[in-house]
Amino acid sequence: MAGRDVLRADLEVQNDLYDLMTKSARSFLDGWFENEHIKAVFGFDAVVGNYASPDTPGSAYVLLHHVFGELDGEKGAWGHAVGGMGAITQTMAQACSEHGVEIRTDAEVASITIKDKAVMGVVLTSGELITAHSVAANVTPKMLYQQLISPEDVPNDFAQKIASTRYGSGTFRLNVALSELPDFTCLPGTDLQEHHQSGIIMAPTLEYMDRAFMDAKQQGWANKPIVEMLIPSTVDDSLAPAGQHVCSLFCQQFAPTLSAGQSWDDLKPKAVEAIVSVVSSHAPNFKASILGMRVLSPLDLERELGLTGGDIFHGAMTLDQLWAARPVFDYGDYRGPIRGLYHCGSGAHPGGGVTGLPGKNAAEVILMGK
């Protein structure tokens, strides 16, 4: 359906789409804007979760991906879930429970059982076997086929394709508790202001973003990282005590895999220092206002959340890993080579971004018995 719409579109629309699929973010934005700071505002979306430079061909698509969809009828808008991101899953859980769905937590899956190329169920780490005719997997495709399924149950050609897919979003996260709001030199004051309720991007130019990526390629982390600050407690006061705040720092670029002999367990302090230094250069009171923080390096994101390579998208969002090629070519229909096993996570089309679309689409395939 979407392909037919593109074919029917006028030449200008087709040309814009071609540019977005093939050009770098810089090349695309140069055709629309002159001001370097305006380019940076849009260019940030090209490197979010993308271990690449805004000069990398194809990075324009990642920009497009981040402005897909709508919120309350406003195209390209993002929103904040009151109660935090967990409020979304709690709402989903309530809806499921109303329909008689049994939900179990603290039930880690150790393996998926396969017989005659068809799924039979899952085995928990406790040893319990849960039989099923269908299993929908929300983990990364690499984790699914390399850790949860025996190698002999995965066809060699498919296993090789999975092994060659690229992961690693260059992302580093800090969740910070603050005694007061950041006092930005460009907009002074610790009283609540409009900018405190917005996404605050600390990366003034595309050149700055390119330098961050080059640093990460050379030494493992950016000397001056790309930082986006969100302060959700300014729109949801249930998240922090009165007068205090929580903020999240979404940071790029940090190498998913460090050079031999180096570990993020050892280098986290250097990365945190670089991030805090960038924020403090814009808001001098930031460092002194920190009450505590949770640090998530690419390695922590993999170990704690199962994100292969710390990849928030469950695989690089590049043209060779999109649509019919997500997770690998010719398996973009939410199924792999094992009957009854479905892909419902961000490693399936259309990828990450908290849209819920991979799960929705996979559910439709399962329910229709396709």
Helices (H), the chain: 2-8, 11-22, 25-30, 36-47, 59-65, 86-98, 141-147, 156-164, 206-219, 264-282, 298-305, 357-367
**Cα–chain-centroid distance for residue 289?**
28
- Joined tokens for residue 303: 């170990």
Distance in angstroms (rounded) separating the CA atoms of residues 196 and 183: 10
Largest CA distance in the chain: 66
Sign of CA pseudo-dihedral 140, 142, 148, 152 = positive
- What are the backbone dihedrals phi and psi of residue 106, each rounded to the nearest 5 degrees, phi first? 50, 40
Name the residue among 295, 310, 305, 265 with its Cα closest to residue 174: 295
Question: Model confidence over 314-364: pLDDT tens digits?
Answer: 999 988 999 999 999 999 999 999 999 999 999 999 998 888 899 999 999
| Nearest-angstrom CA–CA distance, 300 and 48 | 18
Read off the pLDDT of each residue in 39-59 and give the average, rounded to a whole number.
95
pLDDT digits (tens, 9 = 90+) for 267-304: 999 999 999 999 999 999 999 999 999 999 999 999 99
Q: How many CB atoms lie within 10 A of CB 203?
A: 25
Portion of the chain with pLDDT greater than 90, in percent? 82
Asked if residues 21 and 61 have their Cβ atoms less than 8 Å apart, the reply is yes
Query: What is 199-259 written as a DSSP string?
Result: -EEE--SHHHHHHHHHHHHHHSEEEEEEEEEE-GGGT-GGGS-TT-EEEEEEEEEE-SSPP
- Record the tokens describing residue 305, joined without a space: 């959340």
Instruction: Using pLDDT thresholds of 50, 70 and 90, give the confidence band for residue 13.
Output: confident
Q: What angle do CA 177, 47, 40 make, to 5 degrees?
A: 90
Q: What pLDDT, on a 0 to 100 scale, did the predictor assign at position 333?
A: 95
Strands 341-343 and 135-137, bridge-based pairing? parallel
Angstrom distance (rounded) from CA 253 to CA 221: 6
User: pLDDT digit string (tens) for 120-153?
Assistant: 999 999 999 999 999 999 999 999 999 999 999 9
pLDDT digits (tens, 9 = 90+) for 172-185: 999 999 999 999 99
pLDDT at 79: 78
CA distance 282 to 347: 36
156 pLDDT higher than 90: yes
- 140's enclosing H/E stretch is none
**Residues in Cβ contact with 172 at an 8 Å cutoff, skipping those fewer than 6 apart:** 221, 225, 251, 252, 254, 271, 275, 296, 297, 298
Q: Which amino acid is at 116?
A: D
Backbone angles phi, psi at 219, to 5 degrees: -125, -5
pLDDT at 123: 97
Amino acid at 267: L
Answer whether residue 1 shows pLDDT above 60: no
